[in-house]
Amino acid sequence: MKKFASIILASVALFATSAKAEYKFNFVMHSDTNNAFWAAVHKGFKDACAQVGADCQMLTLSGDGDQQEQLQNLESSIAQGVDGIVTTITNPTIFDAAVDEALAAGIPVITANTDDPEGAAGSNRLAYVGQDLEAAGYELAATLSKQFPDGPVHVLIGVADMNQSWAYTRANGIARFMDDFKAANPDREITYEKIESGMDLSTVGNRVASYVQTNPNTTAYFDVGFWEAGAAQGIRNLGYEPGQMLLAGFDLVDVVFEEMEKGYVQLTVDQQPYYQGYMSVHQLYLMNKYGLSALDINTGKAMIGPDDVAKIRSFKGMSVR
Amino acid sequence: MNTNNLKSILMRPEISTFIMFVVIMTGFFIANENFLSARNIRIVMGITPEYIIVAIGIAILMISGEFDLSVGSVFALVPMTMVQLVHQGMPPWVAIALGLSIGIAVGFVNGFITLRFGIPSFIATLGMLYIARSLTTVATGGFPPPFPHELPNELFVFQFEVFRASLFWMLGVAFIAGIMLHRSNLGNWIYSTGGDTAAASSMGIKTNNVKMFCFILCGFLAGFAGMIQTFRIEAPLPSQGYLLELESIAAAVIGGVSLFGGVGTIFGAAIGAILIRFLESGIIMARIDAEWFRAGLGSLIIISVVFNTWVVRRGENMVHKNQAEENENSSQKNNSVTESKDE
């Protein structure tokens, strides 16, 4: 029994031996570690922490999008007594009390990647470092619309998870453009539909493939994540030629580049996730060290097409983009 | 109390889990003294009662020799139903009653399919896991509804200084379940049914009825616990209770409930659930990095069960050794008596 106890105490003591840093920062995110997108956020977070010598911890979830678990991680970070918290706000209400509690305890909270759908009006967080999700959705649809063929247009919008604010906010931006596009072209038949498309490549591939079999007139598919790459695989299996149906989505991940090179994906938006991890830490550091105030940073809505792939891929090995 | 009594207590799996719990709590406290701060205890104990209630239902069902993998989905479906019914204009208490009866109905269907068609409950409830989760998404009608504040959530989750009202509901559930399982005929029937169904059946116990009761109770408790969680965070989330089925089974097993039926206690399941919650919190508090989070949790679950088994085996050895010694002593006594008679 003594032996067991000492093994356990020793391993716990190991956890505790991290050097005493000046500041401790936590990043509370809404995904599990298997989601490829988050690697660049994490890299930015770690690089910034190393630069300012902070002790940093990124808290992931066992289940992608489990908001109750994310709330618990946020509350645990407050209990740890850290010097700053970066979090995502994936639900308009459930994180409000915890954010207020952190601020009351003197812990600055900024959001990154995903903000409250109402922004500063919906949450007391001090700033947001990330993409304007709705605007990025609008821009994505506007840019792809230049490739729409003449005649009637039917668009499918894949809302990865209807319960996640980042997902439906982007989808709302896409839908808003489609409404504007329809108003600008009153003589054309322009329609769109939203489905809950899922959050892994094969699920999205299957759902989109099923959809287009019953709706073969679908002109384009928009995904609110990077899973349009799954849709590309799905329609390829149905015998679609590259470009026969337009595909667009968000974020730069390898599988999207591969589909762009094959000609199946036409467009993606870069939200520069490295900045989201990196700039949040620097903000928290400067706020703690010099009392500077937080500021919003729009990390971008750069449109990336097949022509940009070679250049971006040359940076890819650095896990930054 | 002699040493034999003490050893037989130590031999009980739930006690060794408790010892493990104390060791781990001490370890994490050393890693970060905030681990046992009032604030952290308040956070963990806000969540724990919900998981204990589910673990109690799972433990009783496992003791009767069956599984329920649908508890995580029922945990989401029941409160989602309640919220939607209130939005439809139904009085809150009627919505609560109807919601809870969905938990009961799911338990009944699980039991009916398992017992009527003689298929493993693992399969029947695995199917229900998907069905109930899907129904939850259907019930959201596309987007999760807001929480209707006419629901009496304070009654279930009011925040006292450190604890929430849900702790008292959990204690009530544990007390009633404990009396039922350890002090009533029904409890004996559950243990006999899980231990050896054929033997229990030949003794005249209606084993199918006993199992059906346990399925229904498990579904009801999962729904009740889900309702408490929704009331606490004031938002019905379709993702609620994701992977809860595995966690509840892990809690029961850590607390000494046998995977093969017939063995286990309410106290064990509760302490198993508490251990998992504090492990989770402790890992975060010890600032273990993201990539290691699940590895850490998984290892600690395995370590705790290995420790548990080791203590039980050690206890058994001690008792056997003592019995052997006693037998030796008594046979020596007998020998000396015979010798003295001979003289």
3-state SS class at B159? strand
CA angle (A122 as vertex; A121, A124 as ends), nearest 5: 80
What is the spatial distance between Cα A301 and Cα A223, in angstroms, rounded to a whole number? 15
User: What percent of chain A lies above the pLDDT cut of 90?
Assistant: 74
Please state whether beta strands A302-304 and A267-270 pair in parallel, antiparallel, or not at all (unpaired): antiparallel
Q: What is the CATH number of the domain that holds A187?
A: 3.40.50.2300
3-state SS class at B241? coil
Residues A125 and A70 in one domain: yes
DSSP one-letter code for A294: P
For the stretch A212-227, pLDDT in tens is 998 999 999 999 999 9
User: Which of A2-6, A192-196, A269-273, A288-292 has the lowest average pLDDT?
Assistant: A2-6
CA-wise closest residue to B169 among B61, B41, B40, B48: B48
For the stretch A162-211, pLDDT in tens is 888 899 999 999 999 999 999 999 999 999 999 989 888 989 999 999 99
Neighbouring CB atoms inside 10 A of A135's CB total: 15
pLDDT of res. B341: 45
Count of the separate structural domains present in chain A = 2
What is the spatial distance between Cα A37 and Cα A41, in angstroms, rounded to a whole number? 8
Q: Give me the residues of chain B with pLDDT under 50, please.
A: 337-343
User: Does A261 reside within a domain?
Assistant: yes
> Which helix H or strand E contains B274, and what residues bound it?
helix B266-285
pLDDT of res. B343: 40
Residues A123 and A96 in one domain: yes
What chain A residue is nearest to B238 in terms of C-alpha separation? A163
What is the spatial distance between Cα B212 and Cα B217, in angstroms, rounded to a whole number? 9
What residue type is assigned to position A262 of the chain? K
Residues A102 and A190 in one domain: no
Residues A198 and A148 in one domain: yes
Of the candidates A58, A59, A75, the beta carbon closest to that of B43 is on A75
Instruction: Give Cα B147 to chain centroid, integer Å.
Output: 28
For the stretch A135-155, pLDDT in tens is 999 999 999 999 999 999 999
Residues A101 and A55 in one domain: yes
**A221 lies in which domain range?**
134-270
DSSP string, B64-131: TT---TTHHHHHHHHHHHHHHHHHTT--HHHHHHHHHHHHHHHHHHHHHHHHHHT--HHHHHHHHHHH
Please check whether residue B304 touches A, CB under 8 A: no
Please give the order of strands across the beta sheet that includes A109-112: A55-59, A24-28, A84-87, A109-112, A128-130, A297-298
What are the φ/ψ torsions at residue B244 (nearest 5 degrees)?
-65, -30
pLDDT of res. A9: 54
Neighbouring CB atoms inside 10 A of B168's CB total: 14
What is the spatial distance between Cα B151 and Cα B139, in angstroms, rounded to a whole number? 18
3-state SS class at B189? helix
User: Does A18 reside within a domain?
Assistant: no
Fold classification of B3-317 is: ABC transporter involved in vitamin B12 uptake, BtuC (1.10.3470)
Residues A226 and A252 in one domain: yes
3-state SS class at A183? helix
What is the spatial distance between Cα A14 and Cα A77, in angstroms, rounded to a whole number? 20
pLDDT of res. A31: 87
What residue type is assigned to position B312 of the chain? V
What is the spatial distance between Cα B336 and Cα B249, in angstroms, rounded to a whole number? 54
CA-based radius of gyration for chain A:
21
Test the B interface: residue of A33, A34, A80, A107 with most B CBs within 10 Å? A80
For the stretch A16-57, pLDDT in tens is 444 568 899 999 999 887 777 888 899 999 999 999 999 999
Work out the minimum CA distance from B199 to partner chain A, whole angstroms: 38
DSSP one-letter code for A25: E
Test the B interface: residue of A31, A33, A72, A196 with most B CBs within 10 Å? A72
Mean pLDDT, chain A, whole residue set: 90
Residues A246 and A289 in one domain: no
pLDDT of res. B126: 97
DSSP string, A100-155: HHHHHTT--EEEESS--TTGGGT---S-EEE--HHHHHHHHHHHHHTTPPSS-EEE
Is-contact B111 B219, C-beta < 8 A? no
Task: Find the chain A residues whose C-beta atoms sit closer than 8 A to any C-beta of B.
Answer: 1, 4-5, 8-9, 11-13, 15-16, 18, 24, 33, 42, 55, 57-60, 62-63, 65-68, 71-73, 75-81, 91, 93-94, 161-163, 168, 196
What are the percentages of helix, strand and coil residues in chain B, rounded to 5? 80, 0, 20
Please state whether beta strands A220-223 and A246-250 pair in parallel, antiparallel, or not at all (unpaired): parallel
How far lies B237's CA from each of A218, B1, B266, in Å?
Answer: 32, 52, 28
- Enumerate the residues of chain B whose CB falls inside 8 A of the CB of residue A80: 32, 34, 284-285, 287
Residues A183 and A260 in one domain: yes
Average the pLDDT over A82-103 and give the result: 95
User: Does A225 reside within a domain?
Assistant: yes
- Enumerate the residues of chain A whose CB falls inside 8 A of the CB of residue B27: 8-9, 11-13
For residue A157, pLDDT over 50 is answered with yes
Domain spans of chain B? 3-317
Instruction: Give Cα B230 to chain centroid, integer Å.
Output: 19
What are the percentages of helix, strand and coil residues in chain A, rounded to 5? 45, 15, 35
What chain B residue is nearest to A73 in terms of C-alpha separation? B284
CA-wise closest residue to B231 among B168, B162, B148: B148
Strand partners, A267: A248
Residues A142 and A259 in one domain: yes
pLDDT of res. B335: 58
Residues A231 and A248 in one domain: yes
CA angle (A293 as vertex; A101, A102 as ends), nearest 5: 10
